[in-house]
Amino acid sequence: MRKLITTMCCIFSMVAGGLNAAPIEIKFSHVVAENTPKGKMAIRFKKLIEQRLPGKVKVSVFPNAQLFNDDKVLEAIILGDVQLAAPSLSKLETYTKKFQVFDLPFLFDDMQAVERFQQSEEGQKLLTSLESKGLTGLGYLHNGMKQLSANEPLYDPADAKGKKFRVMASDVLAAQFQVVNANPVKKPFSEVFTLLQTKAIDGQENTWSNIYSKKFFEVQSHITETDHGVLDYIVVTSKEFWAGLPSDIRPVVEKSLQEAITFGNQVALQKDEQDKQAIIASKKSTVIELTSSQRQQWKQAMAPVWKEFQDEIGADLIEAAQKANQ
Ligand code: LMR
């Protein structure tokens, strides 16, 4: 009898415990505004999880570097302070040099080529290259091609000479400005507006959606449409957290994430054109379209960067990325 009572108690406490179990918390930290491809993707992910795993998983999104800057967020993931982030591929250098391929100037013709490379065998393999550091890459997310803004018009590479440009923490991006005799300054995204406003720096490179949502166009007289590089993201979590998710939860989280990424990529495509048009309409900054010979000059001037980083990145990987243009 006593044994039966004990067993019943045990079952009861397990059921009650199961019912009262605190939800698994996923903190998603990022640095951009909510009205951007990444911002909207994060909100979509939260909504999907709330619908599909109510009471079991709770997602909190922290935009605008409220919680961590991109230079700290990977460390925070490893320490378990946040569970999801989507840093730019340019900000992974201290963890692996492989993603530097995405920073090579004028490598990709357009975002379709970027997508083809990311979905290729080589691109998918890159997602696993952070595993030895305790990080799991769950997918790529698009933002778009980068443009060059400054407080003077930039038509050809000589116009950049002596100017200070903010870059993300990437040696390839720094080299890209050094080869046109400009001065790169590595700074976190959250500081860019103030640096431009106070004229501590002269210019920066970014996508239309970042230039628009963070109001860089209000403190830059000109934006040259160079499409000289790509700004995309890796959606990343901790290996330990991912492996520790219960087996009935992980697939739902993964599916929701993939759907949110697909949605984010659609937003990226729309915002790229929309935000460019909004900047033009604002008349606060002049958008310069390059002639093909001017663009060719930038391409030629920045070409030495490829050679400089070829050994670190690997000639095969560069070749695979180039193939995606065809
Ligand atoms: C930047 O630092 O310019 C970007 O990486 C910000 C972002 O996350 O889009």
Residue closest to 215 by CA, chosen among 284, 286, 142: 284
Bridge partners (DSSP) of residue 62 are 29
Averaged pLDDT, 85-95:
96
Output 40 or 71, whichever has higher pLDDT: 40
Count the Cβ atoms, other than its own, within 10 Å of residue 320: 17
Pocket-testing residue among 28, 29, 30, 32, ligand 1, by greatest number of atoms within 8 A of Cβ: 32
- Contact between 49 and 59 under an 8 Å Cβ cutoff? The reply is yes
Tell me the CA distances in angstroms from 269 to 94, 144, 189, 274, one per residue in order. Answer: 30, 8, 22, 9
Q: What is the pLDDT of residue 70?
A: 80
CA 18 to chain centre: 37
How far is ligand 1, taken at its centre, from the CA of residue 47, in Å? 24
Q: What is the pLDDT of residue 109?
A: 97
Dist. CA 181–CA 235, nearest whole Å: 34
Q: What is the pLDDT of residue 20?
A: 64
Q: Which atom of ligand 1 is nearest to the CA of 91?
A: 5
Q: How large is the ipTM?
A: 0.98
Q: Which residues contact ligand 1 via a Cβ below 6 A?
A: 31-32, 88, 143, 168, 189, 206, 210, 231
Dist. CA 33–CA 64, nearest whole Å: 5
- Contact between 250 and 128 under an 8 Å Cβ cutoff? The reply is no
Pocket-testing residue among 70, 92, 102, 165, ligand 1, by greatest number of atoms within 8 A of Cβ: 70
Instruction: Work out whether strand 135-145 and strand 164-167 pair parallel, antiparallel, or are unpaired.
Output: unpaired
What pLDDT, in 10s, does the model give residues 107-161? 999 999 999 999 999 999 999 999 999 999 999 999 999 999 999 999 999 999 9
Bridge partners (DSSP) of residue 60 are 27
How far is ligand 1, taken at its centre, from the CA of residue 66, in Å? 14
Q: Which atom of ligand 1 is nearest to the CA of 143?
A: 9
What pLDDT, in 10s, does the model give residues 179-211? 999 999 999 999 999 999 999 999 999 999 999
